[in-house]
Structure 1
Amino acid sequence: MSLIGSRNERGHGKKGTTKRRQYSREALETAVEKVKAGMSLREASRESGIPHTTLQDHKKNKYAFAPHPNLAITTEEEHSLISYVLWMADHAFPISRTVVKALAVAIIKESGRSTVVNLERGLSDNWWSRFRARHPELSARVPDPLNRARVQGDTPAAIKGFFDVYEPIFVSHGLEHKPHLIFNCDEMGFSDKHKSRETFLCQKDRKHIYQQQQNTTREHITVHCCVSAAGESIPAFIIFQKCLPSTACALEGPPKALYGVSPKGYMDAELFLKWLLFFVKHAPKERPLVLVVDHHKTHVSREVVKFCRENQVEVVCLPAKTTHVLQPLDISVFDPLKTVFSRNAARLGLVRGDLVIGKKHFPAMLREAYPQVVTKKNIMAGFKKAGIFPLNREAFDSSQLVKLVPTTPDPKAATSEATAGTPDTKAAEAPATPAATTFLVPGGCCSTCGQRAPPTNPLVATGLVSQDLANVLVPPVFQTSNRQKVKRRLLLPARVITSVKYNKLLHQQEAGVKEKQERKRKREELQRRREKREPGKNTKGKRKWQAEVSEHCAPVSEDDVCLQPQLPWVFSFPSFDSLL
């Protein structure tokens, strides 16, 4: 006599031993559809392995989900609120739970209708849980910090420009089956702060747990890494600040690693040129090689271009501010390497609580962490996600691209230009803001009353928000004056710095620098000649200017406070309301 199973195994035993379901949601829906089509419950149960009682309950819609009605705001208002939340998340201004509840209260107040909600205390947590149940498309995430310059530089046009430059090189050199000839290099900095990201154990009712931080030196250390699309890596290049820790660092560090020194512990043009000699020595002998780098000034010097052209190394520069999307090392190597390094630094405190992690111990710690992260699997995954190898323009994560928020022209500037009636040539020559389209259009001045019309909400114009909520669900505004010149660094596009075109550009820049230095030398020489001809005139002017400065920069007493606005060095700043 054989036993099929005990009472507990069949799910009829003690409390807590009920057998969990072993079927998917798709299998359940398929079985229910068959039962509704005419198949018997027993036959459908034997075929799908789902209990016949479960099939019977779902056939009768016993478990049909009926969301709780929303008694706070209407369905249209809630739809506008959801559209606003998703729009803000797409533009890197995510909305938290507290802000959503505050916006819902503002919607109720804007409507002016009677409600059961206590407007002083706000909406309850039950309302929030039901709100989330009604909208399963929402998900809570911890946002990653993003520099505003990356928002302006990381655009679909910039990424398309990179592939337009990289694809001809990829095809012309026949790299479809040669991943060992495609390389990516970049620097990674280690400072004196090593933060552990592990979860530790403590007593259950304890609210706080502390961890003693390891004492570290304040000197910056740079690790230059280089990997290929085949999953291979060039030995690391470690750059210390001012001096090497000791002669034993080469024995304790990663195998075959290169060591260098710079005044501040960062990569410079001279060290990068020396590393290129090291790179050519360890790279495959087959040519040409393709090296993908960022736009750092140490990577694009004339000496680097000359050396790479002589050794048949095609250097492709990524677009500015796009390395977190297009650089394989940033995608799959650097962040895990810092995590493992920080974890090892925290575990050292369990053995030596008084250990100081400095330049002396850094090579040994990097030797332990480097092979755990810089693996063939991680390297190849980074190249694949970036779309560099295999070549795929659509491989990058499009969710990392932040949509640009349109800017608003300064209303005061627009009003002054409208009333003056003549365009300002200086304002017309001023550089435009990188944001392409202006949605918040300030109304022009009325020809009858002369007053300026209020601005319109772009979300209302696109149909995401209803007109009644135009004053509540408002996107962030970036005002830029047409008369104000804002100095911004030029976001460089992708380019091949070893090309003939870039080589000519370097010659032109060098000639321009020499011409500028020559003009400066001539001006200084002319000034020296004038000083020799009229020695007393310049000293009198200099003394007169010093007297005027001393007169204006005299300390102000309490009795002269009322005269401060008339002084040349006192500025009146606009109020916070005027900035809004």
Structure 2
Amino acid sequence: MPKKRPISRKIGNHTKEQMKEALQEIESGKKIRAVARDKRIPFSTLQRYAVKVKASKSTENVKLVPNYDVNRVFTDEQEQALTEYYKNCALMFYGLTTKDCRKVAYEMAVINKIKMPQSWIVNQMAGIDWLKSFRKRHNELSLRKPEACSLARATAFNKETVKVFFDNLQEVYKRHSAFADGTRVYNLDETATVTVQKPQKVIGPKGKNIGKVTSGEKGTLVTTCCIISAAGQALPPVLIFPRKNYKDHMIKGAPPGTLGLATPSGWMNSELFVDTIKHFIKNTSSSKENPSILIMDNHESHLCIEALDIAKENGVTILTLHPHTSAKLQPLDVGIYSPFKSYYNAAMESWLLNNPGKGVTIYDLAELIGTAFIRTMTPTNIINAFKKTGIHPFDRNVFTEEDFLPSAVTAFIRTMTPTNIINAFKKTGIHPFDRNVFTEEDFLPSAVTDRPNPNVPQNSLNVSFQDISEIEQNSPTILEKETLLGPSVNSPTFQQEPEHDSRQEPLESQREQPQEPPKPQCSKSKDTSLLSGGFSESEDDAENFSLDDEDSDWCEEDEVEDEIEILTDQKLQLNVLPRVLKEEDYVLEEAPYANSLTTISMLTFPKLISVSRD
């Protein structure tokens, strides 16, 4: 026989004030047993505290309540962390059993090196007493029986699919102004109504098996298709009976305007959905002048070409839901079908009580469905169902992070697909290799600070030492012994030079006055001066290397040959830069300018080439 554990303990139930009053009465001359009986404190407990007070000669030096925290395993913060862990596991649809919770508590104590009872170490889990006390301290936790949920349904409702649905819904809302008030927004869905009800809970004696009479073992299926509007209205339902031919007496007692259909299986199919769409158009007066939105799931019976053509011709925009998301996004599933099934089962039980010994048939279901339909399809229920899904009023942020927790388990798997990984490398230009993957617009935010001078051409940045080396080899120079200061020419990028200024000790060749380059002769259209500022270290040098506006005439017919070399042998300091050359002027041939964060003492300026003015 299992051991019965006490529901409540008899020790430690007194407060500090009660114990203090009891001790004061003992000091006044009353017997301990009489005081214990009056204050409802155990005699042994009161006697123990009286001895402690007598020894210390004051109640201020004695702790008047038990110190149970001395044997406590976890602190308040650690228990709160455990509580959040248990709650998150349950919200992710991977809830822990009582045994799993005890194992997690033990593992937490081991990892944090917390002192624990010896029984925890022997059993490698926390004790059952600890779990009971833990649940009492945290009333937000309870032992519940979860509903079964398939893996597809748990992982399909994620942020990506919800975002796509609301993007499509927003696009549809923008098509017509009549969709704003919700009077033209509808939801369609089917549910199963069978001839065997689900018994409700009843009161009976303990220890006995209690049964409930039903009309059959398995029951016969009749499909009920409901259509509701975001304005709080419900259209007459569609009933599909498991018969080859439909008879009018099958819908006796159903709501007025109910459409009756028949199929051998009793389920919705493509042929019957055509009649359902016509029933919807008839009751909503949908047309191209009076359009409407119909939201439904993407079951194969709903994707009938004939039904879709009829809907398109009559101004009906069909918006389908992502698979396995109807439990959260479909108003009928969210706020209508649950109370509908409850009222339907109650109506069937009432029918069985009024007709003892008789079973429910498919010909009796229409009346039961009509009773539940009227009690369920209230404006309040319908409006709240649309509001809870965020369809109307439109609210794409209606779902919180807790709603997406079940899909968080497979979020990594859904994200790390080969397509996503390959596209990520391709977008950065890493593989396949593409140095031109970024456009000028990508560099616009850095244009303000990346260049020390606004006149520096955009395409002149980030030139490697190897590029400069090739330019120096191809460009004639009179400085045969010049070398670049800083890192080697094999370095891929510019490095910051030391603070030493090479201009303080110029070479002999640098002290020579450069010769004035020959001026090209041209008899046609004048152009502005090629260079607006000096490139040398002094104003005198700058004058020697500038072209006179009146003498520098350039024309389209003549081309300047490569022999024209301007400033080829001069050294250029980065803080002295030419103005931006226009197309009708001349551009630099891979000008080795560095970016704003690098500094080079001297650079050999490349030669200039002509540019056509097409």
TM, length-normalised to structure 2: 0.51
The residue aligned with 2:474 is none
1:200 aligned to 179, 189, 202, which one?
Answer: 202
String of CA shifts for 1:388-417, please: whole Å, max 9, x gaps: 111111224654333435579xxxxxxxxx
In 2, the alpha carbon distance for the partners of 1:223 and 1:67 equals 60
- Cα deviation code 1:476-531 (max 9, x no counterpart): xxxxxxxxxxxxxxxxxxxxxxxxxxxxxxxxxxxxxxxxxxxxxxxxxxxxxxxx
What residue ranges of structure 1 are gaps of 5+ in the alignment? 1-63, 409-431, 439-580
Distance, in Å, in 2 between the alignment partners of 1:407 and 1:253 is 45
Distance 1:104 1:245, change over 3 A: same
Note closer, same or farther for the CA distance 1:352–1:87 as it changes in structure 2 (3 Å cut): same
Corresponding residue for residue 462 of structure 2: none
Identical aligned residues as a percent: 24
1:93 maps onto 2:73 in alignment: no
- 1:206 to partner: Cα distance: 5.2
Flag the 1:244–1:176 CA change in 2: closer, same or farther, 3 A.
Answer: closer
Instruction: Give, in whole Å, the separation in 2 of the partners of 1:133 and 1:114.
Output: 20
2:308 pairs with 1:297 = no
CA contact (8 A) 2:194 2:219 kept: yes
Secondary structure of the 2:324 match is coil
Per-residue deviation, residues 93-142 of structure 1 (Å, max 9, x unmatched): 01133321243346567869772436459755542243234445545544
Which residues of 2 match residues 5-24 of structure 1 at below 5 A?
none
> Does the alignment pair 1:342 with 2:345?
yes
Distance 2:298 2:67 in 1: 55
Q: Please give the residue correspondences for 1:319-338 in structure 2 after superposition, counting only pairs within 5 Å.
A: 319-338=322-341
What code does the residue aligned with 1:262 have?
Answer: T
Contact between 1:406 and 1:435, CA under 8 Å: does it hold in 2? no
Q: TM-score, length-normalised on structure 1?
A: 0.54
Report the AA paired with residue 149 of structure 1.
A
Q: Give the 3 Å change call, closer, same or farther, for CA 69–387 of structure 1 in structure 2.
A: farther
Over the aligned positions, Cα root-mean-square deviation in angstroms equals 3.5
Partner AA of 1:202 in structure 2: G
In structure 2, how many angstroms separate the alpha carbons of the residues matched to 1:342 and 1:85? 35
Per-residue CA deviation, residues 153-203 of structure 1 (Å, 9 max, x unaligned), is: 110111111110111221331246532211000111124542123x32334
- The structure with the larger Rg is 2
The reply to whether residue 393 of structure 1 matches residue 396 of structure 2 is yes
- The 2-side partners of 1:385 and 1:148 are apart by 24
Give the C-alpha shift of residue 224 in structure 1: 0.7
* Matches of 1:103 and 1:371, distance apart in 2: 50
Alignment of 1:141-180 (within 5 A): 141-175=144-178, 177-180=180-183
SS at match of 1:265: coil
Distance (whole Å) between structure 2 residues aligned to residue 344 and residue 353 of structure 1? 14
Alpha-carbon distance change, 403 to 202 in structure 1, aligned in 2, over 3 angstroms: closer
Residue pair 1:223, 1:236 contacting (<8 A) in 2 also = yes
Task: Please state how far the C-alpha of 1:209 moved relative to its aligned partner.
Answer: 2.3
Q: Is the 8 A contact 1:182 1:290 kept in 2?
A: yes
CA distance in 1, matches of 2:224, 2:117: 61
Preserved contact between residue 103 and residue 124 of structure 2 (Cα < 8 Å): no
Equivalent in the alignment of 2:379:
376
Specify whether residues 281 and 126 from structure 1 end up closer, same or farther in structure 2 by C-alpha distance, changes over 3 A only. Answer: same
Residues 185 and 225 of structure 1 are in contact (CA less than 8 Å); yes or no, is this contact kept in structure 2? yes
State which of 310, 316, 335 in structure 2 corresponds to 1:307.
Answer: 310
Aligned-residue offset at 1:342: 1.3
Structure 2 unaligned regions, length at least 5: 1-64, 419-614
Q: Does 1:185 align with 2:184?
A: no
Secondary structure at 2:260's aligned position in 1? strand
Q: Residue 398 and residue 377 in structure 1: after superposition, are their counterparts in 2 closer, same or farther (change >3 A)?
A: farther
Instruction: Select the residue among 109, 117, 130 that pairs with 2:119.
Output: 117
How many angstroms does 1:382 deviate by? 0.7
- Alpha carbons of structure 1 residues 245 and 166: separation in structure 2 relative to 1, 3 Å: closer
State the partner residue of 1:251: 252
Against the structure 1 CA distance between its residues 108 and 402, is the aligned structure 2 distance closer, same or farther, given a 3 Å change threshold?
closer
8 A contact 1:295–1:319 mirrored in 2: yes
Q: 1:69 to 1:299 in 2, by over 3 A?
A: farther
- Structure of higher RCO (CA pairs closer than 8 Å, 6+ residues apart): 1
Aligned length, in residue pairs: 351
- Report the alpha carbon displacement of residue 277 of structure 1 after superposing the two structures with TM: 1.1
**SS state at 2:93 partner:** coil
